[in-house]
Amino acid sequence: MPKAWIDEAPAPQILKEHAHLKDPISYRVKKALLGKPLNRHLLSHQRLSKVFALGILSSDCISSSAYGTENILYYLLPAFGLAGFSILMPMTLIILSILVIVTLSYREVVMVYTKTGGSYVVARENFGPVVAQIAAVALMLDYIVTVSVQTAAGTSALTSAFPSFASYNLEITLGVIGILLFGNLKGVKEAGRAFAAPTYLFVGSVAMVLILGIWKQIRGTLVHVTTGVGTVPLGHEQQLITAASIFVLLRAFANGGSSLTGLEAISNGVSLFKAPEGNNARRTTVIMSSILGTLVLGVSWLANATHAMPYSSGTPTVISQIADVVFGRSAVGHILYLFVQFSTMLILYTGANTPFSGFPFLANFIAEDGFLPRQLTKRGHRLVFSNGIILLTIASSSLLLAVGANVAKLIAFYAIGVFTGFAMAGFGMAKRAITLKDSKWRMRFTINMLSGSVSLLIVIIFAVVKFTEGAWLIVLIFPIATTALIRLNRQYRREQIALKIDEERSRATSIARHDVAVLIDSVDVATVGAIRYARSLNPHSLTAVHFVIDDRHSQTISQDWANNKALSDVPLEMIDCPDRRLPNAAVDFAIRATESDDVELTLLFPRRSYSYFLGRILHDRTAESIAAPISRLTRVVATIVPFDVEKIISGKPLIRPATTSSVQLAKIPQVVRKLPTQDVALSMPGSVSHYAEHLLPIGDATWRQRAHVRGQVTSILTAPTGAAPGLDVEVWDETGGITLHFLGRRSIAGLSVGATLCAEGMVGESSGHLTIMNPSYEIVL
């Protein structure tokens, strides 16, 4: 065989792509809907300024001011009549005082824990991973209900402006969730700056309503809302100290707690901030809470002044009634009213998009800790956590289908999860303060303990007063879900212990005797292929085994085996299987074959692959049923050797030729990091070298000529620890690939698969392919 290094022998070639599997129909459909798959090296982390972070992360929190006041009135007016409006402001002030306490607690959370996770990370670091699952369940439920509530509230804002669509509330809401699902699977980033605009539009429009409304109130021109059919029933005034009245007040207070939802959003996204992350997140948290408190107070004030009443159907909303009264019925006023409704709808829908980023990351975080299935850690077609996004969509849509797109009904599922998260964060930070006892720890302990205690009290209140309205389901789900997560983690830990390498299992990987047996059911091409593979294993002994369940068929196999010269050196053993239980017979054979402790047995199963549908009807799957119990035996390995029959029948190739366009490489940035001085510096002035100044496409590299190439590292091969140190690095660009061979080293600082590398040196060859031995190099960031 001619060698490339001999004159007149074939010249070595660059590395080329040869073929790819044909894309199945499901993948082609996914590609058509979502676009081309993104290269994992394009995954970047965008940092946000405080202005953009406020707009992006606070949409969920600030938008809750659109329905917080309405949910308080939903219970006050039927119980106390018009006197409910006079109770509204004191209750709003109580809720705002809780807002201040929780905000003070979260100011510390974002300063200490600057990674994704929020209250889950706080609970995990201070109470351990088991207790942290309470926060995990709380946050996941919060995200699920947030999608349902925000989209339902956004649809209510839409149908308040266009009442003719009110009968399609549920359909519109589910459609919006479908759009959010598609957009996020396609790779819409929540960190995109466009998501900041709705928050500022909403704040500006509601501020305009509040300023104009208060100005009209001062002038005495602010009128009451004209109510129509469908408002909540107006009750009669009653004393506030009766048990029934106290229960109603607690219900209204619990409903008003929905105004604080989303307050934890910034703590879940501290890593998105520009440095210093903690300081910027703390200031943004305070600004967000201040805006929320101002809007909630203002909406409650004008609701009291205009006597805006909530409707049983949820539309028109209280904030839309206030805007309608404040702006009047003129053409300009109607335009301003529609602008308020549009901005309200926009921020609510944008707030519903926040969980589509937060939930998958939280699920990924919990799954990495081993408390959720590992599938939630996998990035999908467009580098997003697709499984988490789909799970969130299914859960939130199911809740809407069960309850309906009515915010007042959905609120019953809301605050328990939200305030449980607040409580875990407060207690966790209090424990941290008393454990570390650094400067001002007593003050921090008091604030966080107060926040945790108040939040826990609200959870208890909510669970009691909302129990019959749906809170019972959350109360039931909490312990079940928490227990399920803990049991799942226990199973993962058992599996890890079983797979852990101990001293006994770290013995030499070789064994004194290795035997191979091929289980056959016929003599055909698949059987010959399995025998060929068995010979490549260099076994001590090679045997073909057939379990006899049909005497006539076994005779045919014996004759075919004897007549096939390619199998003449392999003995055929016939083993009786009178009860036709092939797995049992295979296990018995394997146990007998490995009675000696120094013997390891490999059983090969030729498996013939047929068409997907007819193959399941016309053929059984015996190989899998036998291999499953065999794999549980010690010193026995079950290996299935596949053979594609359908490919021969159809005549269609399984793979397609590779094209240049199929090579998807990340864009190479221009910033270069110099390596330590012991490496050859490419740009060192006055250095003596044969350095090639101009970059050369790898496809144009020439054997026995110097070349300066740049490409993406696709493979790194390290020599075994028992051999001489060596490192082979494959570098590719759009024109092909070349191997860089480094002698005397096993690693290069800063070099990893996916990095971009510049290299220069003399082009040689190895195994018929171009290679550069010990090149000069730089790593491109």
pLDDT tens string 34-70: 877 776 666 655 567 888 888 888 888 888 888 888 8
By the 8 A CB rule, do 128 and 413 touch?
Answer: no
Q: Is 233 exposed, middle or buried (0-12, 13-18, 19+ CB in 10 A)?
A: exposed
Helix or strand holding residue 769 (H, E): strand 769-773
DSSP 8-state code for residue 618: H
Which tens digits make up the pLDDT trace of 207-221?
A: 999 999 999 999 888
191 or 740: whose pLDDT is higher? Answer: 740
Long-range contacts of 476-481 (CB under 8 A, 24+ apart): 477/137, 477/141, 478/134, 478/137, 478/138, 478/141, 478/416, 478/420, 481/137, 481/140, 481/141
The set of residues, in sequence order, having a beta carbon less than 8 Å from that of 322 and lying 6+ positions away, is 209, 213, 225, 299, 302, 303, 306, 308
Amino acid at the residue 455: S
Amino acid at the residue 197: A
Confidence check: pLDDT of 691 > 50: no
pLDDT of residue 685: 39
Q: How far apart are CA 716 and CA 496, in angstroms?
A: 28
Mean pLDDT of 383-390: 88
Highest mean pLDDT, choosing among 314-318, 421-425, 719-723: 421-425
pLDDT of residue 428: 92
Q: Report helix, strand or coil for 368.
A: helix
The set of residues, in sequence order, having a beta carbon less than 8 Å from that of 81 and lying 6+ positions away, is 234, 235, 236, 237
Q: What is the pTM of this model?
A: 0.77
By the 8 A CB rule, do 212 and 327 touch?
Answer: yes
Confidence check: pLDDT of 327 > 70: yes
The set of residues, in sequence order, having a beta carbon less than 8 Å from that of 496 and lying 6+ positions away, is none
Q: How far apart are CA 81 and CA 54, in angstroms?
A: 39
By the 8 A CB rule, do 765 and 743 touch?
Answer: no
Confidence check: pLDDT of 670 > 70: no
Indicate the range of 235-244, 359-368, 383-392, 542-551 predicted with least confidence: 235-244
Q: Report helix, strand or coil for 519.
A: strand
By the 8 A CB rule, do 452 and 425 touch?
Answer: yes
Mean pLDDT of 671-677: 37
Indicate the range of 485-494, 532-541, 578-587, 610-619 predicted with least confidence: 610-619
Q: How far apart are CA 656 and CA 517, in angstroms?
A: 35
pLDDT of residue 204: 92
Q: How far apart are CA 347 and CA 652, in angstroms?
A: 53
pLDDT of residue 661: 41
Would you say how long the chain is, in residues?
781
Helices (H) then strands (E): counts for the chain: 24, 14
Confidence band of 660 (pLDDT split at 50, 70, 90): very low
pLDDT of residue 525: 86
The set of residues, in sequence order, having a beta carbon less than 8 Å from that of 391 and lying 6+ positions away, is 359, 363, 376
Q: What are phi and psi of 657, to 5 degrees?
A: -60, 145
By the 8 A CB rule, do 557 and 546 touch?
Answer: yes
Q: How far apart are CA 215 and CA 544, in angstroms?
A: 95
Strand partners, 514: 600
679 or 105: whose pLDDT is higher? Answer: 105
Indicate the range of 8-17, 163-172, 654-663, 694-703 predicted with least confidence: 654-663
Confidence band of 612 (pLDDT split at 50, 70, 90): low
Q: Which residue is it, tokens 């057939």?
A: 546
pLDDT of residue 678: 38
By the 8 A CB rule, do 737 and 663 touch?
Answer: no
By the 8 A CB rule, do 254 and 461 touch?
Answer: yes
What are the tokens at 543? 């045997």
Q: How far apart are CA 578 and CA 81, in angstroms?
A: 85
pLDDT of residue 117: 67
Highest mean pLDDT, choosing among 66-75, 176-185, 576-585, 618-627: 176-185
Q: What are phi and psi of 451, to 5 degrees?
A: -60, -45
pLDDT of residue 676: 38
By the 8 A CB rule, do 300 and 88 touch?
Answer: yes
H helix runs in 369-470, sequence order:
386-403, 407-410, 415-436, 441-465
Which tens digits make up the pLDDT trace of 3-39?
A: 555 556 677 777 776 656 677 787 788 888 887 777 6
By the 8 A CB rule, do 261 and 418 touch?
Answer: yes
Q: What are phi and psi of 386, to 5 degrees?
A: -60, -40
Which residue spans within 462-590 are E strands per DSSP?
513-519, 541-548, 572-576
Q: Which residue is it, tokens 């490419």?
A: 682
Mean pLDDT of 100-113: 91
pLDDT of residue 71: 84
Confidence band of 597 (pLDDT split at 50, 70, 90): confident
Q: How far apart are CA 555 and CA 396, in angstroms?
A: 63
DSSP 8-state code for residue 664: -
What are the tokens at 672? 């270069």
Mean pLDDT of 89-104: 92
pLDDT of residue 78: 82
Q: What are phi and psi of 684, to 5 degrees?
A: -70, 120
Which tens digits make up the pLDDT trace of 236-293?
A: 665 555 777 788 888 888 778 878 888 888 887 787 788 788 888 899 999 999 999 9
Determine the longest span between alpha carbons in the chain, in angstroms.
Answer: 110
Q: Report helix, strand or coil for 710.
A: strand
Indicate the range of 200-214, 362-376, 461-475, 734-748 predicted with least confidence: 461-475
Terminal CA-CA length for the chain: 43
What are the tokens at 773? 């031995």
Q: How far apart are CA 170 and CA 112, in angstroms?
A: 42
Q: How far apart are CA 325 and CA 323, in angstroms?
A: 5
Q: Is 574 exposed, middle or buried (0-12, 13-18, 19+ CB in 10 A)?
A: middle
pLDDT of residue 610: 65
Confidence band of 414 (pLDDT split at 50, 70, 90): confident
Q: Is 167 exposed, middle or buried (0-12, 13-18, 19+ CB in 10 A)?
A: exposed
pLDDT of residue 298: 93
Residue 670 CB neighbour total at 10 angstroms: 7
H helix runs in 169-196, sequence order:
169-185
By the 8 A CB rule, do 268 and 108 touch?
Answer: no
Q: What is the CA radius of gyration of the chain?
A: 35
In this structure, the strands spanning 513-519 and 599-609 are parallel
Helix or strand holding residue 366 (H, E): helix 331-368
In this structure, the strands spanning 655-657 and 19-21 are antiparallel
By the 8 A CB rule, do 92 and 256 touch?
Answer: yes
Confidence band of 550 (pLDDT split at 50, 70, 90): confident
Considering only CA atoms, which of 604, 602, 594, 554 is closest in space to residue 574? 554
Amino acid at the residue 260: L
Torsion of CA 362, 365, 369, 374, to 10 degrees: 90
